[in-house]
Amino acid sequence: MKKTVDTIELVLPFKAEYVSVARLTASGIASRIGFDYETIEDIKVALAEVCNKMVFKGSKIASDYSIVFEVTDKELNIVFKCKDESLKCIFDDDKEGLGVSIIMALMDKVVLCPDSSNVLSMSKVLEGNG
């Protein structure tokens, strides 16, 4: 049986004032799938950690980054992309590891340094469907 995937892509400039747009988008998508309030808040916090890190790091060659939401009836996969290859492994300099710890605690699967051109990916499985 083929898994149906809906894809929503959000392109944001490296500006802190747009992190709330990403959080609101994630909230709407997660709600549509059927996640409960607490899980939606967890997703928004994890997403904001990555967005804030992207904004902090910035880019000298790209003006924006994208967040791709891949939706199935059982899972929300969130992939961060940027044309700037220097943004791979953005949490390598996270000395205390707090940002990574938060993301790992709140999401079901996290790939910090993917082999692909992606910056980071993370996913949350809808309880009862995993």
> How many Cα atoms within 13 Å fall on the side-chain side of residue 81?
14
Contact between 125 and 74 (Cβ < 8 Å): yes
- Note the maximum CA span of the chain: 44
Look at residue 41 in the predicted model and tell me its pLDDT: 98
Per residue in 107-128, pLDDT (tens digit) is 999 998 877 778 899 999 998 6
Q: How far is CA 29 from the centre of its chain?
A: 12
% of the chain exceeding 90 in pLDDT: 72
Mean pLDDT of 24-45: 97
For the stretch 35-78, pLDDT in tens is: 999 999 999 999 999 999 999 999 999 999 999 999 998 999 99
Return the beta strands (E) in the chain as ranges: 6-13, 64-71, 75-81, 109-111, 118-125
Residue extents of the structural domains in the chain: 6-125
Residue 7 has pLDDT above 70, yes or no: yes
Tell me the CATH number of domain 6-125, given options 3.30.565.10, 3.40.50.720, 3.50.50.60, 3.40.630.10. Answer: 3.30.565.10
For 41, 85, 123, the CA distances from 23, given in Å and listed in that order, are 9, 24, 15
